[in-house]
Amino acid sequence: MKKVLIFSLVVTVFMTSVLLPLRAINADGENEGLNNPNFQKGSQPFPSLTAEEERLEEEKLQRYREWLSKQPKIDIKNFDMPISNDDSSKEPSILSITEYGSLTIYYRVQETSYYCGPATAQVILNYDWGMIGSSNYYTQSYLANYMGTNSTDGTYVYRLKNALNELKNPNKNPTAYWIYTLLPSNETDAANYLYTYLQNDITYNTTKQALAFHTNTYPKYGYDAWGERYGLIGYYNPSNSYEYHSTGHYVTGYGYVLYSDGRHRVKYADSWNHDYGWENCLGYHELDARNMATCINGNAGYLIW
């Protein structure tokens, strides 16, 4: 009986310390905000659009369709590449850049574990109002109150979208408008749409808008067709498949790049200033378009563009 009990204790300790997803603990509490694996996940409320909102959304979609119809077809790889145990096979095979677009944004550190929505809105609106460096047009607390942000549900997608439209600079471009979109479930299709939304808003659209990605920081274990492990930078241990942190999280999309080997990449800024033991999540990062699309689809599939 003693041997059985000892074995059970060893297994329990092993499961708790190694196999279970890691959680961060900070001043906001163990189960609040990004410390909670269920934070900002699940179903979203989407109130009916007003007639004016429907008109503005359709105008944006029509401009996007017209632009897209004139573009060459994007070819994001739709096949598996062999992955070896050699870590070098998982690194981007970066050659020369054949296409590039980026906005000059300034990332912000979210002020609480559940302020990723307000921090993302702050970054996007700062760009819209022409703020540079450390200057902010709106505080995160103001935006959190405006959007009804809380430590359990975070910020609803429709409220973040509404805040961007209602608090934008009305003198910058009258046609500027953000909408939320559900990505297709197929990874290749989702990556194609994601990449073209970035192209349209960042380079070809006169409004020049940054995007908000509603993601799952670690949607699943595995690698995309280019050999990049799924997940946002800093939320998993590259050397250990059992160490990761999966939660709902907003990040800011601000750029895209196409390399000469056909690899489509997405640039994003993360507001979470936390190190889970292998790398800090905060700052400017770059992921495969397929990877980011999977992170977005891992949390209901919504992005704001």
Q: pTM score, two decimals? A: 0.84
Q: Is 234 helix (H, G, I), strand (E, B) or coil?
A: coil
- The pLDDT tens digits of the residues spanning 224-264 come to 999 999 999 999 999 999 999 999 999 999 999 999 888 99
Residue 90 falls inside a structural domain: yes
User: How far apart, in whole angstroms, are the C-alpha atoms of residue 70 and residue 295?
Assistant: 29
* pLDDT in the model for residue 35: 76
Residue 120 falls inside a structural domain: yes
Using pLDDT thresholds of 50, 70 and 90, give the confidence band for residue 173: confident
CATH code where residue 140 lies? 3.90.70.10
Residue 10 falls inside a structural domain: no
Query: How many folded domains does the chain comprise?
Result: 1
* pLDDT in the model for residue 30: 55
* pLDDT in the model for residue 75: 64
Residue 64 falls inside a structural domain: yes
Using pLDDT thresholds of 50, 70 and 90, give the confidence band for residue 37: confident
Residue 36 falls inside a structural domain: no
* pLDDT in the model for residue 76: 66
- Round the average pLDDT of the chain to a whole number and report it: 85
Q: Determine the number of helices (DSSP H) and then strands (DSSP E) in the chain.
A: 7, 9
Closest among 158, 199, 186, 124 to 303, alpha carbons compared: 158
CB atoms within 10 A of CB 225: 19
* pLDDT in the model for residue 255: 97
Amino acid occupying residue 201: D
Domain extent at residue 238: 50-304
Question: What Rg value do the Cα atoms of the chain yield, rounded?
Answer: 20
CB atoms within 10 A of CB 110: 26
- What are the backbone angles phi and psi of residue 187, rounded to the nearest 5°? -60, -45
Using pLDDT thresholds of 50, 70 and 90, give the confidence band for residue 8: very low
Residue 37 falls inside a structural domain: no
- The pLDDT tens digits of the residues spanning 99-117 come to 999 999 999 999 999 999 9
- The pLDDT tens digits of the residues spanning 57-68 come to 999 999 999 999
Q: Do residues 121 and 304 lie in contact, with contact meaning Cβ atoms separated by under 8 Å? A: no
DSSP 79: S
User: How far apart, in whole angstroms, are the C-alpha atoms of residue 30 and residue 24?
Assistant: 7
Residue 103 falls inside a structural domain: yes
User: How far apart, in whole angstroms, are the C-alpha atoms of residue 295 and residue 175?
Assistant: 29
